[in-house]
Amino acid sequence: MTKKGLSLNPMLYHPGFSEASTKNLNIQSENWKLLWMAAVAYSKGERAHASYLSEKGKFYGKLAREADEKASREIFEASFSESLLDAVHMVLVIGLVQKEGIEWSEDNPGTLVLRIDGLKEYSFMTSDSDSE
């Protein structure tokens, strides 16, 4: 069921779907619908109408591919930004740990293991918001 060209399928509006994903699903749905209609028209002997619908289906197929490529780029860019931010945070933490002389290792990529012997106050623990 549609209203104003939007699908009312509740799964399309799941929080995990972006607006681009929803638009892409609608385009793909339109593409398949047109190709199905073209096949039906062809089977009824309506060759000219089938050809017209097939061409429209190809147009929507092209739009769907372009939307897929755009969504893939957006996912890659977001993933790259997050990875870069994680790497910067890791470098900052390693710098603080080395400055304090704390032994550390990276047993798994992105996971630091710190060896802290006993209770000690470190310079990075103090801040202007401390009440003491």
Q: What angle do CA 18, 19, 20 make, to 5 degrees?
A: 90
Q: Which of 119, 124, 58 is nearest to 97 (CA)?
A: 124
Residues 36 and 60: their CA atoms lie apart, in Å, by: 13
Q: What is the pLDDT along the chain (132 residues), one digit of tens a residue?
A: 444 444 444 444 444 445 666 676 777 788 788 888 888 998 999 999 989 988 888 888 888 888 888 888 888 887 777 788 888 888 888 888 888 888 888 888 878 898 887 777 777 776 655 554
CB-based contacts of 56, cutoff 8 Å, min separation 6? 34
Residue 121 is encoded by which pair of tokens?
């106050």
pTM above 0.75, yes or no: no
Q: Which of 122, 117, 109, 28 is nearest to 67 (CA)?
A: 28
What does the pLDDT read at residue 48? 93
